[in-house]
Structure 1
Amino acid sequence: MNRLIAGITMMMVLSGMAACKIGKKPVRKQVMQDTAVVQNPPLADTTVKRGDSIAAANPAKQLLIDSLQSVWKQEINFSTFSGKAKMHFEIKDEKQDVVANFRIKKDSAIWVAVNATVLSVQVARVYVTPDSFKLINYLQKYSMVMAISDAKKFLPADVDFSTLQNLIIGNALKSLSQPTDATDFGGTWSVQMEGADYVQQLTYNKSDSTMRSSQLRTKAANGPQAMIQYGNYEKKDERKFANSRAINTINGQEQYYIDMNFSNAVFDQPVDMPFTIPAKYTVK
């Protein structure tokens, strides 16, 4: 069950993807991209300043990056979010199906309640702020309370609140990265974004500028690998929201797969985040 809890909190694992590496992409499922089915493949001067990059040495690349600013700068803006998703999780030979309820107060708190699909038994509850990480395991009757900087002792990677928030909402995982390369593939655009120690590859559908996939890799050797595919977009209060996410990660010898399908997503409505640790629970 600890492995299940770790799988549920794989969202937090992906928050540490500043240490990611693009590798051979695992193939799991088909994700609907609007009307097409995509099989997982492995204000003055608006010129973007880049420094040392592929685009800096290629005027055509530079021009494409600049022309796509409205695409790679787009994000879902919100004040609060609540959503419900069915999640299929796999690690090694273990498979689990759960239902997760998400609630977010932007840049402030993330609340997740997880129920097993069998008998709707409550499995876990997670509460994350930019500074803290809390978890209640209802099956084994214990809780964890720690600084977010210490959560890596429990999770396979460092936790970053902003990246976790972006993952749930469907924004690019690393929002502060800068574009260094871009390619026009006909039906899609691909934009390479770089941060201090990672590279993020984003692919967008030309038909509606929605994000099709996101990959991350580290600039250093080793580290986790991740690929996320987005599909089944739907208008939610004038926002294009990806109801389906296929998440593949490799961390050391362990491979994780999460298939998420949102059945409900609501923005900018009041949310509550109940989180009370039962008095008799062990605190780890």
Structure 2
Amino acid sequence: MRKNISISLIISLILFLSACSVKKSIPTTANTLQDSVPYVAKIDSVKNEVKHISVSDFRSTEFNFNTLVLKGKAKLNIDNKENDVNITMRIKKDEQIWVSVSAIIGEVARVLITPDTVKIINRLEGNYIKKPFNFMQEYTNNQMDYSVLQSILIGNSIQKFISDNSKIEDFNSYFLVSGLTNDINYKFTYNSLKRLEQTDLIESNLEQELSISYASHNVYNGLMFPGKIQMRSKAGKKLIGVQLQFSSIDYNVPVEFPFTVPSRYEVIN
């Protein structure tokens, strides 16, 4: 395992607004991070622009919570180099995202993300990073914020893109909500239950692409949550793929966000 892989994993999770794609990732096999096929309607589907459905119908199916605890595995692929880690993620809605990244040797990184800051403890190299959240916009664009990251991680659509002006199409077996916001073309694909299965974003200049697919949805007290999230991004010639597979999901439970930086750790600016 490369020393900086834990940091790369977290940065990759945060940077996904920098990509966008009209390709649908294949989410069923752990070894297909690099594989994708064009996303097209089924031949027997009937494409209709619908008037009786509004964007509020899709918002009503979003996963709503106060706190969330996720455990599972992450597979990271950066420019065809793969690494596997275990992750534990805790989220307090709209306030904090806490992530522990571990490997065979134990915890290798701990991350705390708030709407204002990003903090990363790198245990492999004995250092610590603290940055304002908006430093991520240097790698993406000014659309990236905490709410976008939170939506991506829990399988909800990115609300800042969707509006009453969004185009809604009915393909019988799925719905497509699309439009253009701030030079970003967006497509959100929902299943017949109006639950998000695919997010595709593409910048107008075609420099950055993002594709996120959600699979293995399970029902928890009437709410659906994806058991697998697969993300693929391209920024220029840089390719990043991340696959998250959750083995444990719990929500609206007490959570803590322990984050203590050892005094001997070097602060990285």
Give the TM interval when normalised to the shorter protein: 0.7 to 0.9
CA pair 26-203 structure 1, distance change in 2 beyond 3 A? closer
> 1:256 corresponds to which residue?
240
Runs of 4+ displaced beyond 6 Å: none
> 1:49 corresponds to which residue?
none
Provide the rounded CA distance (Å) in 2 between the counterparts of 1:77 and 1:177. Answer: 17
* Structure 2, gaps ≥5 residues long: 30-34, 39-47
CA deviations 1:128-151 (Å, max 9, x no partner) are 111111111100111111211224
> 1:157 corresponds to which residue?
140
- The secondary structure found in structure 2 opposite 1:71 is helix
The one-letter amino acid of 2:129's match is M
Question: Once the 2 structures are TM-superposed, how far is the Cα of residue 209 of structure 1 from its aligned partner?
Answer: 2.3
- The secondary structure found in structure 2 opposite 1:168 is helix
Task: Tell whether the 8 Å contact from 2:25 to 2:212 is kept in structure 1 after alignment.
Answer: no
* TM-score (ref. length: structure 2): 0.84
CA pair 223-195 structure 1, distance change in 2 beyond 3 A? same
CA deviations 1:56-97 (Å, max 9, x no partner) are xxxx7361543x641255321111111112111111232111
Provide the rounded CA distance (Å) in 1 between the counterparts of 2:207 and 2:119. Answer: 25
CA pair 151-184 structure 1, distance change in 2 beyond 3 A? closer
- The secondary structure found in structure 1 opposite 2:217 is strand
Provide the rounded CA distance (Å) in 2 between the counterparts of 1:152 and 1:183. Answer: 32
Provide the rounded CA distance (Å) in 2 between the counterparts of 1:189 and 1:62. Answer: 10
> 1:189 corresponds to which residue?
175
Task: Tell whether the 8 Å contact from 1:202 to 1:215 is kept in structure 2 after alignment.
Answer: yes
> 2:8 corresponds to which residue?
6
Question: Once the 2 structures are TM-superposed, how far is the Cα of residue 170 of structure 1 from its aligned partner?
Answer: 1.1
Superposed counterparts of 1:97-136, under 5 Å: 97-116=84-103, 118-119=104-105, 121-136=106-121
The one-letter amino acid of 1:189's match is F
Identity of aligned residues (%): 26
* Structure 1, gaps ≥5 residues long: 32-38, 43-59
CA pair 9-273 structure 1, distance change in 2 beyond 3 A? same
CA pair 270-196 structure 1, distance change in 2 beyond 3 A? same
* TM-score (ref. length: structure 1): 0.79
Task: Tell whether the 8 Å contact from 2:26 to 2:37 is kept in structure 1 after alignment.
Answer: no
CA pair 176-74 structure 1, distance change in 2 beyond 3 A? farther
The one-letter amino acid of 1:157's match is T
Task: Tell whether the 8 Å contact from 2:190 to 2:197 is kept in structure 1 after alignment.
Answer: yes
RMSD: 2.4
> 2:151 corresponds to which residue?
166
Task: Tell whether the 8 Å contact from 1:84 to 1:262 is kept in structure 2 after alignment.
Answer: yes
